[in-house]
A and B are shown apart, each in its own frame.
Chain A
Amino acid sequence: MTAADIKAHIDPIRHEYADGRSLVLPALKYAQTEQGWLPPEALAAVAEATGYSQAYVESVASFYDRLYLEPVGKRVVSVCITLSCMLRGSDELIEGMCEHLGVEHSHGAVTTPDGAITIQEAQCLGACDKAPCIQVDAENTIGPLGQSEANALLDELRAADRPRELWR
């Protein structure tokens, strides 16, 4: 994605942000839709489009869990591990999902070898009433979720086509 593409995306929403720095975030999210993560070239393009330094843009990107500086899967599944969800079994849920996918559970993000799915731990998704819950990319939060439903969802995601734009 080029700086011009990013600029074309942020220019129409510029007026919504009082401080130009706030535009870095939508610019990063948009830049990520192409590959699902932000390689250095994408960060450089955002820097060019927004007029902030590359170090600053990388610093913003590294702050957020949903902006990825390493390659991730076609779909990213975030499993909430905060209090409500934990009390309702999220620890077991994430273990089971990892097992279903055949990957080792880690506290960061882990991607299936075929690059189809990344599982990552998330803090409270703001849907405690649906605990335990998960979120697929930036889509709706789904829950409460039993193990078999979760596994079925993973199979479904794996079979589905790659979305054109990877909003996450």
Chain B
Amino acid sequence: MSDALPTKPTMVTISINGKEVQAKPGTILVEAAAQAGIEIPIFCYEPRLGPPIGACRMCLVEVEGMRGLQTACSTPVAPDMVVHTNNEAAATAQDGVLELLLANHPLDCPVCDKGGECPLQDRTFKFGPGETRFVEPKRHFPKPLDLSTEVAIDRERCIACFRCIRFSQDVSEDGQLGFQERGAGTEVATFSGEPYESRFSGNIIDLCPVGALTSIPYRFVSRPWDVQNAPSVCGLCPVGCNTELTMREGETKRTTGRPNPNMTVEEGWLCDKGRWGYPAAWSADRILRPLVRDANGTMVETSLEAAVDAAARLIAASSATQILVGAASTVEDGFLAQELAAVLPNAAASRLGFPDSADLEPLRALPRAELSDIDTAGAVAVVGGDVTNRHPIVELRLRKLVRNRGALAMVGPRTSPLDARATFGARTAPGQLSSGLAVLAAALEGASAPLIIWDEADLANEPAAAAELARIATAAGARQIELAVDVNGRGLRALGLPCQTAPVAAGALVAVNADPLESPGAMAWADAIDGVGAIIAVATHRSAITERADVVLPTLMHHEVEGVLVSTTGRAQRLRPGSRGPREAAAAWELLIALSHRTGTPLPFRTPAQAFAAVAAARPPFAGLSYSVVGDEGAPTTHVAQSSAPQRSTDAVGDGIALVVTTEIFGDAVSWRSDALVSRRTPAHLVLAPQQAATLGLVQDQRARVSSPFGTCILPVVVDAQAPEGAAFVAMGPPASGTSALLAGEQVPVNVMIEVAE
């Protein structure tokens, strides 16, 4: 690509409404006009959905010398073109198109969720007729139907622009939406009226230029003039999609894609978990009040002041203090934990999550790519992982790659809906990634701008494959994208926070959004926890650690705080609060600073911005960054080699068959807490291939006892003909499922014994 000769770098000069406009050859008129500050009205035009289709006729303009009017959304600029977007011919046509679109439109704006932020409304005001001449009865459909449990469709409002259908057919490629009937009777529908089932269904709500598709959880909740919107990022997976949070009365009422999508990251798409995770803020197990254990050992509610004091006293009275931050904590929280540990006597800070691995250094040292680079790659090799469930938006990019005729190679033990789209895929046995790599080399060789996408956990557990993959990528000149395990694992690692893989024994434990009793290594922690002197839990929701804690400090979720997360591709991106959160809760950064004051060793920070400035000064990966540099779009961190990362032990421990850890997109804590995702939740379960199940004497839905050297849990069995034989695929489920008992804190490969549970 880059070495192609610059063919026509020259600009084309055209005239739009008498204004001279320069545009790159090939620019679509709508875009050229927008660059010159001229709005041409559109409905169906949406470049993220693929080539223009000219369905709505809203964008008619006059081009001198061309017969009839042209659709500006599908007409590229040509030298010396003279365009009129608002002369009489164009204006009459635009007015006419709107009058026709409105002829059958119910004009029920006063009761429509879209009212006030509706392109149809806005364009009618600006370009349309003030009145209708249509006196005949309008078409009628029964009022909204549920297209799915989250999306409602009001067919009377639809203007048949095809956007939702193109998303379903051409972007998420779920193929479920289509138009039925024709003419005025045209309606968006699924095959046989089945519910629309897609991991990305909510995007059609953002795309619909009218009020035909609306969010059921947001139904009648607010009006655009009653809300404030905050640009933020989703903190539910390491991709870090840019979001917009809609706040009313201090609460987040909605999450949408940004109106100005971040084309480098998510392109404006969100997965349904990111879109409808915010109601987890109101789940029954949310911690609303600070709690302190009294002399009788019972937890009593108290004020935040009193609880912070109690926590500080416990810390002061302890011989040692361990501050443990969770894997989704912000950079500021991690940094303040380090700073607090530095000023407290005999204290240390560490993180919970996937351990560092020196073996990944050769991969991390390769030139880094962004998700947008997938679009233009000639070939992409995905090694390990499960993007569909763990990095959902990456799936959409990979689908686009294939539509762009790039080659997609998939290697790894887990099945994927992308397998059908892959140029070639190799299902490797657990621990055998290397066996699939030879074919990869062939796919990457000679391809333009090749990329490798590799899974942190899978490659950390197979150092030989990591080394081999790095060699292949180097030979092919490929750049790399890491699929990180933890939401902010990259950010916390870049701070130099060591990973806590074994329980701490004595003193005080401050667990900040971290529950070691519900994480890998849970059994070892359970054994050791009685030896811990005092437990202070900074947490959003109740969990095993808050039950054991001496002090519980309620804290805020990602959509309620300010802070920075580092995405899977290494971009630092800002969270901004779209909610005040519970009255008695405070951000973790604030609680850490408060604790520093109450322990008599005050830290010199008062805001997360100050803390982040200190991070930039003190931690080389963040050098040069600040809140303003990170801005709304994010900015890359710098990779700094970790010379001190420990060597992992990667031999599988235990007898039996290999355990492959999987995650379901709607199987995590947020999905189980958000009442908007009730119909999507998946519990922890065990997936076995048919032969494997038969050998073990297990059938579908039966309960199996799964035991590793670390612990045991009981799981329902799913027999899946697609799954490779010879392995146990354990979908981890939400934290309290008990599945983490099977793993060690080191997250080394394990084998499990499986038997029928009585």
Q: Residues of A with Cβ closer than 8 Å to B? A: 40, 43-44, 52-56, 58-59, 62-63
Among B89-97, B170-178, B380-388, B589-597, the stretch that binds chain A is B170-178
A53 CA / B180 CA spacing, docked (Å): 14
B182 touches A40 (CB 8 A): no
Q: What are the residues of chain B within 8 A of A43 when measuring CB–CB? A: 191-192
Can you give 14 A-B contacts (C-beta < 8 A)?
A44-B191, A52-B175, A53-B169, A53-B175, A54-B175, A54-B192, A55-B168, A55-B177, A55-B191, A56-B175, A56-B178, A58-B191, A62-B181, A63-B182
Q: What are the residues of chain A within 8 A of B176 when measuring CB–CB? A: 53, 55
B180 touches A40 (CB 8 A): no
A59 touches B192 (CB 8 A): no
A54 CA / B176 CA spacing, docked (Å): 7
Closest chain B CB from A88 CB (angstroms): 26
- B179 on the A face (CB < 8 A): yes
Partner of B179, one of A44, A53, A59: A59
The 5 closest A-B pairs by CB, nearest first: A53-B175, A59-B178, A55-B178, A54-B191, A62-B180
Chain B: which residue is nearest A56 at the CB level? B178
B169 touches A56 (CB 8 A): yes
- B74 on the A face (CB < 8 A): no
A156 CA / B306 CA spacing, docked (Å): 95
Q: What are the residues of chain A within 8 A of B180 when measuring CB–CB? A: 58-59, 62
Interface residues of B in 172-214 (CB under 8 A from A): 175-182, 189-192
Closest chain B CB from A124 CB (angstroms): 16
With A53-B176, A54-B175, A55-B168 known as contacts, the answer to whether A40 contacts B191 (CB < 8 A) is yes
A43 CA / B189 CA spacing, docked (Å): 15
B175 touches A40 (CB 8 A): no
The total number of A-B Cβ pairs within 8 Å is 39
Given contacts A58-B178, A62-B180, 6 further A-B contacts (CB under 8 A): A40-B192, A53-B175, A54-B191, A54-B192, A59-B180, A63-B181
Chain B: which residue is nearest A64 at the CB level? B182
With A40-B191, A40-B192, A43-B191 known as contacts, the answer to whether A55 contacts B175 (CB < 8 A) is yes
Closest chain B CB from A110 CB (angstroms): 18
Chain A proximity mask over B6-35: 1 for CB below 8 Å, otherwise 0: 000000000000000000000000000000
Q: What are the residues of chain B within 8 A of A54 when measuring CB–CB? A: 175, 191-192
Chain A proximity mask over B303-343: 1 for CB below 8 Å, otherwise 0: 00000000000000000000000000000000000000000
A63 CA / B169 CA spacing, docked (Å): 18
Q: What are the residues of chain A within 8 A of B192 when measuring CB–CB? A: 40, 43, 54, 58
Q: What are the residues of chain B within 8 A of A59 when measuring CB–CB? A: 178-180
A33 CA / B261 CA spacing, docked (Å): 49
Interface residues of B in 345-383 (CB under 8 A from A): none
A59 CA / B178 CA spacing, docked (Å): 6
A132 CA / B169 CA spacing, docked (Å): 43
A160 CA / B178 CA spacing, docked (Å): 39
A43 CA / B180 CA spacing, docked (Å): 13
Chain A: which residue is nearest B191 at the CB level? A54
* A40, A52, A56 — most chain B CB neighbours (10 Å): A56
Interface residues of B in 446-467 (CB under 8 A from A): none
A40 CA / B176 CA spacing, docked (Å): 14
Q: What are the residues of chain A within 8 A of B191 when measuring CB–CB? A: 40, 43-44, 53-55, 58
Closest chain B CB from A23 CB (angstroms): 17
Chain A: which residue is nearest B190 at the CB level? A55
A62 CA / B181 CA spacing, docked (Å): 5
Q: What are the residues of chain B within 8 A of A44 when measuring CB–CB? A: 191
Q: What are the residues of chain B within 8 A of A62 when measuring CB–CB? A: 180-182
Interface residues of B in 140-171 (CB under 8 A from A): 168-169
A63 CA / B179 CA spacing, docked (Å): 9
Chain A: which residue is nearest B173 at the CB level? A53
Closest chain B CB from A8 CB (angstroms): 24
Chain B: which residue is nearest A39 at the CB level? B192
Chain A: which residue is nearest B168 at the CB level? A55
Chain B: which residue is nearest A63 at the CB level? B182
Q: What are the residues of chain B within 8 A of A56 when measuring CB–CB? A: 169, 175, 178
Q: What are the residues of chain A within 8 A of B189 when measuring CB–CB? A: 55, 58
Chain A: which residue is nearest B179 at the CB level? A59
A100 CA / B169 CA spacing, docked (Å): 47
A40 CA / B191 CA spacing, docked (Å): 8
Chain A: which residue is nearest B180 at the CB level? A62
Q: What are the residues of chain B within 8 A of A58 when measuring CB–CB? A: 178, 180, 189, 191-192
Q: What are the residues of chain B within 8 A of A40 when measuring CB–CB? A: 191-192
Q: What are the residues of chain A within 8 A of B182 when measuring CB–CB? A: 62-63
Closest chain B CB from A134 CB (angstroms): 23
A44 CA / B194 CA spacing, docked (Å): 13
Closest chain B CB from A48 CB (angstroms): 12
Q: What are the residues of chain A within 8 A of B175 when measuring CB–CB? A: 52-56
A63 CA / B192 CA spacing, docked (Å): 15
Chain B: which residue is nearest A69 at the CB level? B180
Closest chain A CB from B69 CB (angstroms): 26
Chain B: which residue is nearest A55 at the CB level? B178
Chain B: which residue is nearest A54 at the CB level? B191
A44 CA / B192 CA spacing, docked (Å): 10
A59 CA / B160 CA spacing, docked (Å): 13
A44 CA / B178 CA spacing, docked (Å): 14
Q: What are the residues of chain A within 8 A of B181 when measuring CB–CB? A: 62-63
Chain A: which residue is nearest B192 at the CB level? A40
A53 CA / B182 CA spacing, docked (Å): 19
A39 CA / B190 CA spacing, docked (Å): 15
Closest chain A CB from B24 CB (angstroms): 30
Chain B: which residue is nearest A58 at the CB level? B191
A58 CA / B180 CA spacing, docked (Å): 7
Q: What are the residues of chain B within 8 A of A63 when measuring CB–CB? A: 181-182
A63 CA / B175 CA spacing, docked (Å): 18
Q: What are the residues of chain B within 8 A of A53 when measuring CB–CB? A: 169, 175-176, 178, 191
Closest chain A CB from B703 CB (angstroms): 34
* B177, B179, B182, B191 — most chain A CB neighbours (10 Å): B191
A52 CA / B169 CA spacing, docked (Å): 10
Closest chain A CB from B197 CB (angstroms): 12
A56 CA / B179 CA spacing, docked (Å): 8
A56 CA / B170 CA spacing, docked (Å): 12
A63 CA / B191 CA spacing, docked (Å): 14
Closest chain A CB from B186 CB (angstroms): 9
* B168, B177, B178, B182 — most chain A CB neighbours (10 Å): B178
Chain A: which residue is nearest B176 at the CB level? A55
* A52, A55, A58 — most chain B CB neighbours (10 Å): A55
Closest chain B CB from A107 CB (angstroms): 12
Chain A: which residue is nearest B183 at the CB level? A63
A58 CA / B182 CA spacing, docked (Å): 12
Q: What are the residues of chain B within 8 A of A55 when measuring CB–CB? A: 168-169, 175-178, 189-191
A55 CA / B172 CA spacing, docked (Å): 14
Chain A proximity mask over B450-489: 1 for CB below 8 Å, otherwise 0: 0000000000000000000000000000000000000000
Q: What are the residues of chain A within 8 A of B190 when measuring CB–CB? A: 55
A63 CA / B178 CA spacing, docked (Å): 11
A53 CA / B177 CA spacing, docked (Å): 9
